[in-house]
Amino acid sequence: MDSYTLGASFCRHSFKMGGVCIFVHKNLTFMNIDLEKFSHEWDIEASTVKITINHVNICILSTYRAYSGNFAHFLDKLEGILNLLKRNDTQLIICGDLNINYLVENNKKTLLDSLLASYNSTGTVYFPTRIQSNSATAIDNIFIYF
Summarize pLDDT for 39-59 with one digit per residue, the tens.
Answer: 999 999 999 999 999 999 999
* CA distances in angstroms from 112 to 90, 97, 129, 140, 143, listed in the order given: 21, 13, 18, 13, 11
pLDDT of residue 131 exceeding 80: yes
What is the per-residue pLDDT across 22-44, written as a single tens digit (0 to 9) for each?
A: 999 999 999 999 999 999 999 99
Q: Which domains does the chain carry? A: 4-145 (3.60.10.10)
What is the per-residue pLDDT across 56-71, written as a single tens digit (0 to 9) for each?
A: 999 999 999 999 999 9
Please report the pLDDT score of residue 59 as a whole number: 97
For residue 1, name the pLDDT band (cuts at 50, 70, 90).
confident
Q: CA-to-CA distance for 61 and 95, rounded, in angstroms?
A: 6
Give the percent of the chain with pLDDT over 70.
Answer: 99
CA nearest 139: which of 79, 73, 88, 67?
Answer: 67
Q: Quick check: helix, strand or coil at residue 10?
A: strand
